[in-house]
A and B are shown apart, each in its own frame.
Chain A
């Protein structure tokens, strides 16, 4: 991993303009991703983690729209790209794999057809035979046996795990610098999940590409990521290295997430600990901290005013009044 910036997201805002009103799905998030870094974005459904990823690759569906901020990739402003430039960019520099491999491959074309198409649309000079060779090579890379036979098969002839492997092969065929994995294991059963994560990890180590791993499974994050971003209601609540998230979490929401994970060594009478309350109504975001109404340590100010950024250590930041108070008191004691 080198320390040159690959992706820089600055105060990104994405809204969906629905008949019921504006839904601020992503509400001012900033982070940077270095070359070869693996970042995990964690949050519950509707926290804006997928929307944020779709806006990087330019696949936001109407009525979604980027309303503010900047996305810079290798120093270039992605939001200023024309549709043609975006087509050149997608699948070539940045690829994406999705949640459900059962529905993500076109049922009426063979695996080979869909793989070579992904390759040849960015490498126009490549001959068909060479593209097929490349496809076979990619299928070997993702651990599919008998690839010469597989490329002639249709998606319905493959299992779910194999289809996700094909999706990964397809995403990596043009050797992108960044892979966005949008919950790639959620639809698979547990043993296959582990295999797919292991596969992504191996390929990442081999090729040195950067990965944005979107998930709501903290176990997955622990396995593969260098850095973790926790999102809630369209905002980052905490971002830190993977060690800090697990051993030194600061934000009450992160704590809640960790506490609600089932434990292997749990006693028989122990119950899971949920985060109380319901996810926030994105149409009517509270003026203060969005997590405030569900937070057990909620203070008066939390409901009134959005919390400030508190820097805990070099790459550990959280947005919480509680931490701001602690920081303030610590400073006062030092004086």
Chain B
């Protein structure tokens, strides 16, 4: 187990470095730069600014310097958006906002999604199943910004019962959480339904019934745990994405989170912020995937992590 985790962490390190390199070159391939604004700077000033941040050096040298700094956990300073503030400080300031909103949405998505799936599987083929199927299909296919906009128009503008921006009160969480969690909730519901149906037809479910267990125990003890395995696979990347902020939802509701900041940094060509947020997000995804892989072992004792490591 320990050997497996160490191996995965080493792998994760290289994955993050690779992502950093790719992002670095992509970013530099995009036309424009941090110091090109409407008011043209004189060539001398531009050269001085570039020299200050090391942008005058060849790309490979820049990359080497960046990676060396990265090993010291130094993500550089912002060029433009919050001039000369360390990127790490900025991320640490923005992340808790996204993380809190994301965590609530995630819990909500799981708490509703799994029972939706169980219900649909239990009442397979009846009107309950049909209603839930239509609902989850719509939920999965409508993009977050549409949900966010519709909610905003109905509850924020027409009825004016919920605040339309910021995250200052309990009420202000409702709409962003709904917008952020609808799609994952429906997806979790569909996954749970299909894997539950698969499990219900397994022979050990028949054994459980033959013992005289009640339907409730059969479904919630014997079937649910087995059907959570595919759901768990999806939860890894979902957790990473949702915690680092749905940038669309954050933009629509003007929430000062990491997602919105990331999008702004791209249009501003604030290189260190782009690199910093990308690396942060990538590390988070890799980390969550590892957590999920370890959780497999908890849910399903047949998983042999040590064997996989060899």
Contact = CB atoms under 8 A, between A and B. Distances in A.
The answer to whether A and B belong to the same complex is yes
Contacts of B7: none
A108 B208 contact: no
Contacts of B211: 90-91, 95, 117-118, 121, 170
A104 B209 CA distance: 11
A156 B217 CA distance: 22
B226 A107 contact: yes
Contact of B301 (A98, A100, A118, A156): A156
A260 interface: no
Interface stretch (B31-39, B156-164, B199-207, B287-295): B199-207
B207 A98 contact: yes
A107 B204 contact: yes
A235 B282 CA distance: 66
A105 B210 contact: no
Contact of B302 (A57, A107, A118, A121): A107
Interface in B262-280: none
B223 to A, nearest CB: 9
A233 interface: no
B302 to A, nearest CB: 5
Given A98-B203, A121-B213, A106 B208 contact: yes
A169 interface: no
B206 A90 contact: no
A89 B211 CA distance: 9
A73 to B, nearest CB: 14
B203 A92 contact: no
A106 B226 CA distance: 9
A246 interface: no
B203 A100 contact: yes
B207 A106 contact: yes
Contact of A121 (B203, B204, B212): B212
Q: Which of A90, A100, A108, A170 has most B Cβ within 10 Å?
A: A108
A107 B301 contact: yes
A108 B214 contact: no
Interface in A70-96: 83, 87-92, 95-96
A59 B225 CA distance: 22
A98 B203 CA distance: 9
B300 interface: yes
Contact of B204 (A59, A105, A117, A118): A105
B204 A103 contact: yes
Interface string B88-106: 0000000000000000000
A117 B206 contact: no
A156 B207 CA distance: 16
B209 A108 contact: no
B154 interface: no
Mostly helix, strand, loop or mixed at chain A's interface? mixed
Contacts of A25: none
A108 B213 contact: no
Interface string A113-131: 0000110011000000000
B299 interface: yes
A11 B206 CA distance: 26
A87 B301 contact: no
B152 to A, nearest CB: 43
B208 A87 contact: no
B116 to A, nearest CB: 22
Interface in B147-203: 202-203
A154 B210 contact: no
A310 interface: no
Contact of B210 (A57, A88, A106): A57
A167 interface: yes
Given A106-B222, A107-B226, A121-B217, A59 B210 contact: yes
A87 B213 contact: yes
Contacts of A117: 211, 213
Contacts of A171: 210
B146 to A, nearest CB: 39
A91 B210 contact: yes
A170 B208 CA distance: 10
Q: Which of B203, B211, B301 has most A Cβ within 10 Å?
A: B211
Interface of B: 202-204, 206-215, 217, 222, 225-226, 299-302
Interface of A: 57, 59, 83, 87-92, 95-96, 98, 100, 103-109, 117-118, 121-122, 154, 156, 167, 170-171
Given A92-B212, A167-B207, 12 more contacts: A59-B206, A91-B212, A98-B207, A103-B204, A104-B207, A105-B207, A108-B225, A108-B301, A117-B213, A121-B212, A121-B213, A170-B211
